[in-house]
Structure 1
Amino acid sequence: MADVFRGLNLLETLKESIESNKLSDVKDAVEDLLISRINLAVVGVRGDEKDTFINSLRGLGPGDEGAAPSSPPVATEEVAGYPNPKHPDFRLWDLPPVPDTSPFEPEGYMDRVKFLRYNAVFMTFTRTPHPNSVEVFLEARSLQRQTAYFILLASVEDTEKSLEEKRKVSLEILTSKGVTQPKVYLVRPSTLEKLDFPGLLEDMSKDLPEIRAHALLLALPTLTSNLVTQKKEAFKALVWAAASLSGGMSAIPVPLVASMVDSSVAVRILSKAQLSLCLDDESVEKLAKRRGIEPARLKGLRTCVLSVEITKGEVKKRLAAAEKDLATVSSKLVEMAMPRHARSASRSFAAMLQALNGAIDEMAVDAEKIVAAAVGEGK
């Protein structure tokens, strides 16, 4: 799997790939965005705070099927894996706490839990970070792994004042151990939209390769209106890739590749958008349960038919309508997106772009309404 977007602007990468007739790179990119492969690890003592954090990252409550801790619980020193029920290629790994033994060799712990295999690692604690955990963090940095983050998980008893006091002490410990410009993120496990978690996601989006940042974004539950907007833009990037691929295929002779817009690709994109925006019945019901809201209240906020169900018939109807309405699409838009020799394929590109972007806009509006109701009315 090639990270064809690493460190590059998405649109420019697509244009260069199509210009160079490297359609396989664009196809790989579309598949990577659709599959959303990413592995996150959570280090720390197993307990209510850590379990709740892992569940919240997967859009689950403590009583939901598949919620942490698994049954039977794994031994303290073992690694436990938790797939995301809606995004099976997004996996969370519950790593055992760093041993508090002395002397301590960070390399031994890292080898045992395969620390470097994960795209990002959350190093959690509820009071202050243990010195051995800091050694693991510094070892990771020495190996050029920048995606390890210290997270102070708030307990039920914690107030904003107590959390800030813990953060202050934790930063002093990190500084004394040689961590330059240390950061400690305050996270309330049951309500990730509060405190520092949104800021953590922003930092991760800068640290991760672009394709991995997209994968993380699309797999997380819709926690805030801002996150809905980011998801919408990510899906529009995916739509642009698929539409450019369709247009490129139409213009550049490629053996055994169809030249028409493939409605099945559109169905896959919109199906993933529905799940990512948490618009499906199961996701809405679980959100309502966690927030103490009547499920029908949230379900009734979905006004786009695709928010409720993705059908091939509806997708084909929207593609056909866009095909008839191509006069409304700016020729300048096509010129920006497609290389000169591929502009004869602009109808295929424009139809998919217009139909899918319109659908994603409608679905995002529904998601924003649901998030606003859940955050505003939830207990």
Structure 2
Amino acid sequence: MADVFRGLNLLETLKESIESNQLSDVKDTVEDLLISRINVAIVGDRGDEKASLINALRGFGPEDEGAAVSPSPTAPEELAFYTNPKHPDFRLWDLPPISTSSPFDPEEYMNRVKFLRYNAVLMTFTQTPHPNSVAIFLEARSVQRETVYFALLASKNDTEKSLESKRKASLEVLKSEGVTLPKVYLVTPSTLEKFDFPALLEDMGRDLPEVRANSLLLALPILTSTLVAQKRDAFKALVWAAASLSGGVSTIPLPLVASMVDSSIGVRILTKARLSLCLDDESIERLARQRGWEVAELKALRTCVLSVEVTKGEVKKRLAAAEKDVATVSTRLVEMAMPRHARSASRSFTAMLQALNGAIDEMGADAEKMLAAAIGVGK
């Protein structure tokens, strides 16, 4: 998922758009990256494990308002969906359990729950997948839907040995039902950083369209240091797109143009980065509760002022400082990113790139410190 823009050829697209003066295309790219909805469906029995998974994917604990509960209040035949107020573009759908009766029509179930409207589907189970679930998987593959995955959810009494035994049995079921090269991911809902969930994210990132993969990446809570690094890289790609737009704003460079023109988009990007990196007070309070830390201890690890609060004044100050210092920045990045006729506008591009990338690095470092403290040496 680190190379979230692999198929967009973002840099070349931006070059071509600026070359032909199609700044609206560049602006649309930035908007797509800032606001991109993704719908993830979870299929399986509505037990403790499924509720825990839904909550963990949102960074919630069972005590949080709006958390999924078990037993579920949703009728067995109905759908339920969950959002995160901080990431309204990320929706989790709790699909009805699949019937175990025979004969079974997978197409009827898929039509009823609108299966193909979801960007990715997790087929969850706690023992082995039922043949009817496999039938849905095969039907999805028959219509070229590749983003369907089998996830074995760990229960309270499971051990690593019992989970491996269940995985082996599950793979045999999948093979016997006609799945070629079957794959089953072991997932511990309460601690997603363990076992196979990071690998599942990597596969989803490769399989999903780039903008959808980016939306998923930015909406997930910080689970591993790798995920923090991927979030940081994704925001730097977004900064590059926004800075390229900034470079095309005016072909006549003016003093402090970046601080005046680009502060609004800078605030939007850094505000989204702060929420995505779970640096806001609410996210830190949840992390402290879940990992047994004092809230004040984790909050004290935020050393970047933007980690605490993103203000237009601070963003303007950083942009202005970057413009004053722009002469010391290598022009190689500018020459790579900007067509020849637009290089007169490179001052704004370089200043925005320097200021926002520096801020992203500082905020990412704060997120890594909090994650290391809460997970690495949690109390």
Matching residue of 2:255:
none
Equivalent in the alignment of 1:124: 124
2:221 paired residue number: 221
The alignment yields a C-alpha RMSD, in angstroms, of 1.7
Report the counterpart of residue 178 of structure 1 in structure 2: 178
Q: Quote the Cα distance in structure 1 between the aligned partners of 2:96 and 2:209.
A: 26
Instruction: Give the corresponding residue for 1:18.
Output: 18
Once the two structures are TM-superposed, the CA of residue 259 in structure 1 deviates from its matched residue by 11
* Whole-angstrom distance in 2 between the partners of 1:13 and 1:201: 27
Q: Are residue 193 (structure 1) and residue 193 (structure 2) matched?
A: yes
C-alpha distance 196-70 of structure 1, shift in aligned 2 (>3 A): closer
The match for 1:83 is: 83
What is the deviation of 1:31? 0.9
Inter-partner Cα distance in structure 1 for 2:94 and 2:290: 22
Displacement, 1:330? 1.1
1:164 and 2:168 correspond: no
Does the aligned pair in 2 maintain the 1:36–1:218 contact within 8 Å? no
Q: Which residue of 1 aligns with 2:307?
A: 307
**Pairwise CA distance, 1:147:** 0.3
Contact 1:58 1:85 in 2 (8 A): no
| Cα shift at 1:249 | 2.7
Distance (whole Å) between structure 1 residues aligned to residue 236 and residue 329 of structure 2: 16
Match of 1:203 in 2: 203
Helix, strand or coil for the counterpart of 1:45? coil
Structure 1: how far apart are the matches of 2:68 and 2:282? Answer: 18
The one-letter amino acid of 1:45's match is: D
Aligned in 2, Cα 1:70/1:239: closer, same or farther, shift over 3 Å? farther
Deviation of residue 113 (structure 1)? Answer: 0.6
Separation of aligned partners in 2, 1:71 and 1:29: 42
The 1:214/1:190 distance shift into structure 2, 3 A limit, reads: same
Q: Which runs of 5+ in 2 are unaligned?
A: 253-257
Cα distance in 2 for residues equivalent to 1:9 and 1:259: 28
Structure 1 residue 368, shift from structure 2 partner:
0.2
Q: For residue 65 of structure 1, give the secondary structure of its aligned residue in structure 2.
A: coil
- What's the offset of the Cα at 1:6? 7.9
Alignment partners' CA distance in 2, 1:72 and 1:193 = 25
| CA shift for structure 1 position 307 | 0.3
Specify the alignment match of 1:92 in structure 2: 92
The SS at the match of 1:206 is helix
Q: CA deviation at 1:52?
A: 0.4
**Greater CA deviation, 39-48 or 71-80?**
71-80
Quote how far apart the aligned CAs of 1:37 are. 1.2
What are the within-5 Å matches in structure 2 for residues 95-110 of structure 1? 95-110=95-110
In structure 1, list runs of 5 or more residues that go unmatched: 253-257
Give the TM-score normalised by the residue count of structure 2: 0.94
Aligned length: 370
Q: Secondary structure of 1:250's partner?
A: coil
1:333 aligned residue: 333
What SS class does the counterpart of residue 261 from structure 2 fall into? coil
The within-5 A match list for 1:341-360 is 341-360=341-360
Would the aligned equivalents of 1:246 and 1:260 in 2 still touch at CA under 8 Å?
A: no
Q: Percent identity?
A: 78
Contact 2:292 2:378 in 1 (8 A): yes
Preserved CA contact (<8 Å) 1:56 1:189: yes
Residue 361 (structure 1) aligned with residue 364 (structure 2): no
Relative to structure 1, the CA distance from residue 318 to residue 71 in structure 2 (aligned partners, 3 Å threshold; closer, same or farther) is farther
CA distance in 1 between counterparts of 2:153 and 2:72 reads 24
Distance 2:224 2:325 in 1: 34
TM-score by length of 1: 0.94
Structure-1 separation of matches of 2:137 and 2:22: 39
* DSSP 3-state at the match of 1:179: coil
